[in-house]
A and B are shown apart, each in its own frame.
Chain A
Amino acid sequence: MTRSFDVSGAPHMPPQTTVAKVMLQVLLALVPGVLAYTWFFGPGILIQIILASVFALLFEFLMLRMRGRPLKPFINDYSAVVTAVLFALCIPPLAPWWISCIAMMFAIVFAKHLYGGLGQNVFNPAMVAYVVALISFPQAMTSWLPPLALAEQSLGLVDSLSVILTGQVPLAGGWDVISQATPLDTLKTGVEAGRMLPEIRNTPLFGDFGGKGWEWIANWFAVGGIFLLYKRIISWQVPVAVIGSVVLVSLPFWLADPDSNPLPLQHVFSGAIVLAAFFIATDPVTGCVSNRGRLIFGAGVGIITLIIRRWGGYPDGVAFAVLLMNMAAPLIDRYTRPRMYGE
């Protein structure tokens, strides 16, 4: 009385996790930061996230069809949505809709699928999208908003939607009335004009560490990042290396000349350092494989960001730093191969 069975390889256990689950947990970790953003800067960011996600999924669908790949596992794996959300967090909340469209096209088509699709891209797609948009459309990409508490005029949901879709501000005075430079922007122009730091920071735009509002958003991103660490989605090496290198490298400069160099923690909590440390530089596909490699990668991101902030032409250099380190990642991997058992 024999019976036949189907055969398949080991292990024969229910699998622990899926790609979609990993991506969903990343999105979950971003929620506190996004809510804080909406609280401080208005509903524009939510519209941007939705727009970017829609465009990203649309381009993903088109590319999968063109490449003859099956839709089922790839559309559902939420990797395009993660790219879209990270990109939306980097652009001004009232950026026009076509910025999202063009940027997501670059991210999904060029930076992801033309390199081979999920898991094969060399450069971080969200950062590629941001850099392309920044360089091609500097005007639209630098019309930032002040925190709601400080704004003379602020826009509600419907007004934000109309600004994003039409590009026209429905207020007398247009863009000049609502937009204002970011804290990092103000710092840079101030330092170049030769003013001292305490003087520059003596405006309501700045909080204790970074800009008002911005530092709180960074806090909430850090909370999300710690959640990811707890769930073992990311490893501690990259966040510690990014933040650690920023603090360690800016410390001697601040000690030497506190009037023209910001406090290290001010560096950490302004701009996108915290977001990069926990969400962008930890992208596994474009980062390093070994733990030592990840430390070097994170340190590189931190140091290059500081260099661009201090001496470069842009107020915040995180995106460029990440892309440069993406280029270096395979080489770092080759030299930081961990020792094998018995070697």
Chain B
Amino acid sequence: MLISVLILGALGIVFGLGLGWAALRFHVKSDPVVERIDALLPQTQCGQCGYPGCRPYAEAIAVEEADINQCPPGGDAGIRALADLLGREPKPLNPENGEETSKTVVLIDESRCIGCTLCIQACPVDAIVGATKLMHTVIKSECTGCNLCLPPCPVDCIDIVEAETSPPRWQRPRPQTGFKRVPIR
């Protein structure tokens, strides 16, 4: 009886040491986690998460100061990707931060624009072209839909429009299945 206890105990110690050594020897170095979190965020720089841009939010997630469900442009897919990366539970999007909407861009009504440059200063990705007392225009391909230019405009000449899909860019819809499909994740 004693012998078996001693033998098993010795085996336990040997295997434990072996596992510990293996954990150190085969340790995999990975990128700093903030970079990887930032790579998953949509880079809209809208601030709806409560942080001034996507990088500060990524840094907050990394130190567990912020939760992963605060980004509306990333949506459910983004939350799941973050949950995957960090090994946390995916949650539904926090409604206090906003709602997930389809991709939008903004359009400046040129007849009402007064050339005040307040929107140009507000845009986090420099998507608005213009100068003082000259026409302002939004470069559609650069606009991320963050809507930060709307509050500063004194004449309210900026409208939110849908980003269009045309036949060359047309996408097939997700097929419907006859029975309820429960996802595995």
Direct contact of A and B (CB under 8 A): yes
CA distance A9 to B176 in the complex (A): 11
Kindly supply a per-residue 1/0 record for chain A positions 131-167, scoring 1 wherever the CB is within 8 Å of any chain B CB and 0 otherwise. Answer: 0000000000000000000000000000000000000
Residues in chain B near residue A116, CB distance under 8 A: 182
Kindly supply a per-residue 1/0 record for chain A positions 57-90, scoring 1 wherever the CB is within 8 Å of any chain B CB and 0 otherwise. Answer: 0000000000011100000000000000000000
| Contact A68 B175, beta carbon cutoff 8 Å | no
B170 close to A (CB within 8 Å)? no
Mostly helix, strand, loop or mixed at chain A's interface? Answer: loop
B26 close to A (CB within 8 Å)? no
Chain A residues with a Cβ closer than 8 Å to the other chain, count: 5
Looking at the complex, which one of B175, B178, B180 makes contact with A9 (CB distance below 8 Å)?
A: B175
Kindly supply a per-residue 1/0 record for chain B positions 173-185, scoring 1 wherever the CB is within 8 Å of any chain A CB and 0 otherwise. Answer: 0010011101000
| Contact A70 B179, beta carbon cutoff 8 Å | yes
CB distance from B183 to the nearest CB of A (A): 11
| Contact B179 A69, beta carbon cutoff 8 Å | yes
CA distance A153 to B182 in the complex (A): 55
CA distance A68 to B179 in the complex (A): 10
Q: Which of A1-50 contact B (CB under 8 A)?
A: 9
Q: CB-nearest residue of chain A relative to B172?
A: A9
Chain B residues with a Cβ closer than 8 Å to the other chain, count: 5
CB distance from B54 to the nearest CB of A (A): 34
CA distance A9 to B182 in the complex (A): 23
Residues in chain B near residue A68, CB distance under 8 A: 180
Q: CB-nearest residue of chain A relative to B182?
A: A116
CA distance A68 to B182 in the complex (A): 12
CA distance A116 to B180 in the complex (A): 12
CA distance A49 to B180 in the complex (A): 32
Residues in chain B near residue A9, CB distance under 8 A: 175
Kindly supply a per-residue 1/0 record for chain B positions 77-98, scoring 1 wherever the CB is within 8 Å of any chain A CB and 0 otherwise. Answer: 0000000000000000000000
Residues in chain A near residue B178, CB distance under 8 A: 70
Residues in chain A near residue B180, CB distance under 8 A: 68-69
CA distance A205 to B175 in the complex (A): 59
CB distance from B23 to the nearest CB of A (A): 21
Residues in chain A near residue B182, CB distance under 8 A: 116
CB distance from A13 to the nearest CB of B (A): 18
Residues in chain A near residue B175, CB distance under 8 A: 9
Residues in chain B near residue A69, CB distance under 8 A: 179-180
CA distance A48 to B182 in the complex (A): 35
Q: CB-nearest residue of chain B relative to A116?
A: B182
Residues in chain A near residue B179, CB distance under 8 A: 69-70
CA distance A263 to B180 in the complex (A): 52
Q: Which of A85-127 contact B (CB under 8 A)?
A: 116
Q: CB-nearest residue of chain B relative to A9?
A: B175
CB distance from A322 to the nearest CB of B (A): 24
CA distance A70 to B175 in the complex (A): 19
Kindly supply a per-residue 1/0 record for chain B positions 148-185, scoring 1 wherever the CB is within 8 Å of any chain A CB and 0 otherwise. Answer: 00000000000000000000000000010011101000
CA distance A155 to B183 in the complex (A): 52
CB distance from B175 to the nearest CB of A (A): 7
CA distance A116 to B182 in the complex (A): 9
CA distance A70 to B182 in the complex (A): 15
CA distance A69 to B179 in the complex (A): 7
CA distance A281 to B182 in the complex (A): 28
Residues of B within 8 A of A (CB): 175, 178-180, 182
A sample of 7 inter-chain contacts (CB < 8 A) reads: A9-B175, A68-B180, A69-B179, A69-B180, A70-B178, A70-B179, A116-B182
In the A-B complex, the 7 residue pairs with the closest CB atoms: A69-B179, A70-B179, A68-B180, A9-B175, A69-B180, A116-B182, A70-B178
